[in-house]
Amino acid sequence: MKKVILLVMAIILTVWIKAGAQDDPFNPIIKAIQASDARSLSDAFNVTVELRLPDNENTYSASQAEMIMKDFFRKYPPDSFTVVQKGTTGADSQFAICSYLSGSSQYQVYIQLRKEKERHLINKIKFDEKKP
């Protein structure tokens, strides 16, 4: 009987974890960055986006930000991109701190989402190079 209860609990926990992962607004963003896909990433941009990259820092329209990210991915294609931490900064705001490796360069990435009309959109994305 104990085994049956443990099995049922394991199944419920697995389903609950998978359901939560599917609702994670960061999932398509992470996939787009891992694939160097600026077009898919721009689907998650708010009307304006604050960008900080090694050669660029400003607030841009979503279409400008897409072109800048496309250039960044061309210059610094990802060898790996992993989420280090996620959290919330308010009722309608979430963030993720990530690690981005490209060649010998390593970046700490900060992504801030804001909920706008039932969608989580990127307000801010920063790539800060870590110095050895």
What is the average pLDDT value for the chain, to the nearest integer? 87
Q: Indicate the length of the chain as a whole number.
A: 132
What is the mean predicted confidence (pLDDT) over 46-74?
95
What is the mean predicted confidence (pLDDT) over 104-122?
93
| pLDDT score at 19 | 42
Longest dimension (CA), the chain: 62
| pLDDT score at 3 | 64
The model's confidence at residue 14, banded by pLDDT at 50, 70 and 90, is low
96: nearest Cα among 126, 66, 68, 51: 126
58: nearest Cα among 115, 125, 116, 131: 125
Q: Please indicate whether residue 118 or residue 79 has the higher confidence score (pLDDT).
A: 79
pLDDT score of 18 more than 50: no
CATH architecture of 2-130: Roll (3.10)
Question: What tens digit of pLDDT does each residue of 70-97 get?
Answer: 999 999 999 999 999 999 888 789 999 9
Q: Please indicate whether residue 55 or residue 42 has the higher confidence score (pLDDT).
A: 42
Residue partners of 11: CB distance under 8 A and separation at least 6: none
The model's confidence at residue 110, banded by pLDDT at 50, 70 and 90, is very high
pLDDT score of 52 more than 60: yes
